[in-house]
Amino acid sequence: MQETTRTIQLAPSLMTMDLDQFKEQISFLNNKVNLYHIDIMDGHFVPNISLSPWFIEQTRKISDLPMSAHLMVTDAPFWVQQLIDVKCEMICMPAEVSNGVAFRLIDQIHDAGLKAGMVINPETPVDTLLPYIDLLDKITVMTVDPGFAGQRFLAGCLDKITQLRQLREEKGYGYEIEMDGSTNKAHWKMIADSNPDVYVIGRSGLFGLTDNIESSWQQMVSEYEECTGFKFDNGR
């Protein structure tokens, strides 16, 4: 019997969608998912270049869902201001380059009425966030090396999710915990056991399952339920 008490949030990574089916896929997902995950890469922090604040503006023409920007950039202050200008609801910065500007950027985001998050890459420990963890609205744990879709899943990173959940319960912090990287049939059970609040899902877990977004969605739900023992419930 499937348990029905756990609700998750699902955030499709729009970098991995089929751009030739952009409107069709977004229109379908608008009624299915909780928010959209927008990867912004500068070609320096990671070797790839992807999406931009302009992409958020274009997506808003066909969606009212919240946008969560995942910055993979070396110049965080520049990109934070760009995202504030387009009123991106959640701005998640790379912890690895935020030392020295973290408090200022978090305050800047909050002063604009938006939410502030941090992302930790596989080699980055949770302790890096401790000086300002109480100010964060979300913490994203990377379970793959960042920058490209299809990277190897790093199961050891799931321990950080467990650590962050325990810390939140002990200290009463308010951040959400998000995992990002290779969310698919091979890893649903491990990920569910670590129990993040938000699942970022991309090509291997959704967009690449079939050539049709509706059938891909149905297959994703079926695989989630089969692997985890939970009935799929994201509150929509």
44 is in an annotated binding site: no
d(CA 211, CA 220): 13
148 is in an annotated binding site: yes
Residues written for the chain: 236
147 is in an annotated binding site: yes
Note every long-range contact of 226-231, with CB atoms under 8 Å and residues 24 or more positions apart, other chains counting: 227/185, 227/188, 227/189, 227/192, 228/188, 228/189, 228/192, 229/2, 229/3, 230/2, 230/3, 230/4, 230/6, 230/192, 231/2, 231/3, 231/4
Inter-axis angle of helices 213-228 and 22-29, nearest 10? 50
181 is in an annotated binding site: yes
The residue annotated as part of the active site, out of 39, 42, 137, 197, is: 39
Is 107 known to be catalytic?
no
180 is in an annotated binding site: yes
Is 137 known to be catalytic?
no
187 is in an annotated binding site: no
70 is in an annotated binding site: yes
The residue annotated as part of the active site, out of 159, 180, 197, 211, is: 180
110 is in an annotated binding site: no
Binding residues: 37, 39, 70, 147-150, 180-182
Binding residues for a divalent metal cation: 37, 39, 70, 180
Catalytic residues: 39, 180
Binding residues for substrate: 70, 147-150, 180-182
